Amino acid sequence: MIQLYTWGTPNGKKVSIMLEEIAMPYEVHAINIGQGDQMKPEYLAINPNNKIPAIIDPEGPGGKPFKLFESGAILMYLAEKSGKFWPVDLAERYTVIQWLMFQMGGVGPMFGQANYFYRLEEKVPYAIERFYKEAVRLYNVLNQQLGESEYLAGAYSIADIATYPWVWRHEGHHVNLGDFPNVKRWYEQISQRPAVKRGMEIPKR
């Protein structure tokens, strides 16, 4: 069974949603990043970058145990292993990868920084303005794409699974989804998926 090391944050929820979507059995290990579990030597042996999520697949390539960190890499691995949300056509596949990279390099880091600086007690107006503006710019890109396409890369894919939990945190970066109607439509549509509902509950407290 896949071993999932996670916590209740967007990057962690991506992987539990994916595991639920592909109906692959998994066991959850809660890594409390607020209490420093990610710094423990036993966890650093799985992810030397001291962040969640990570997985161990006991039946990895060649039938051998396989450790993996970085949520984007984990989503690609699970898509490849299950053959789901992973188009065969090269142009379609790279369109999925393109939007996944857009999430990994843009949406995650920028929304994350905006959330952080909004939460920080000692306000840093320059940082708030910088990351809020960048978040809004990214929402505009998402909104335009979702006006042309039902999902980010055509059919529902790992690009949507990666982006959804970050949009779930829109209140944290002070974004009103009503200002981005195509993102709102997409967000509400994905929220209805039973696998997404289950994946969002992980880890159970």
Ligand X SMILES: N[C@@H](CCC(=O)N[C@@H](CS)C(=O)NCC(=O)O)C(=O)O
| Binding region for ligand X (CB under 6 A) | 9-11, 33, 38, 50-53, 70-72
Cβ of residue 185: shortest distance to ligand X, in angstroms?
26
Would you state the structure tokens that stand for residue 96, as one six-digit string?
């999925």
Of 38 and 145, nearer to ligand X (C-beta) is 38
Quick one: 9 or 149, whose CB is closer to ligand X? 9
107 vs 128 by CB, closer to ligand X: 107
- In angstroms, give the least distance from the CB of 97 to ligand X: 15
* Pick 55 or 190: Cβ nearer ligand X: 55
Which is closer to ligand X, CB of 36 or CB of 181?
36
Listing DSSP states for the chain in one string gives -EEEEE-SSHHHHHHHHHHHHTT--EEEEE--TTTTGGGSHHHHTT-TT--S-EEEETT-GGGS-EEEESHHHHHHHHHHHHT-S--SSHHHHHHHHHHHHHIIIIIHHHHHHHHHHHH-SS--HHHHHHHHHHHHHHHHHHHHHHHH-SBTTBSS-HHHHHHHHHHTTGGGGT--GGGSHHHHHHHHHHHT-HHHHHHHTPSP-
Q: Cβ 145 to ligand X, closest distance in Å?
A: 21
Answer for the pair 21, 85: CB distance below 8 angstroms, yes or no: yes
Q: How far is the CB of 45 from ligand X (least distance, A)?
A: 16
Q: Taking the complex as a whole, how short is the minimal distance between the CB of residue 178 and ligand X, in angstroms?
A: 26
Q: Please, which residue, 10 or 203, has the CB nearer to ligand X?
A: 10
Does residue 164 contact residue 138 with C-beta atoms inside 8 Å?
no
- Work out how close the CB of 21 gets to ligand X at its nearest, in angstroms, rounded to a whole number: 18
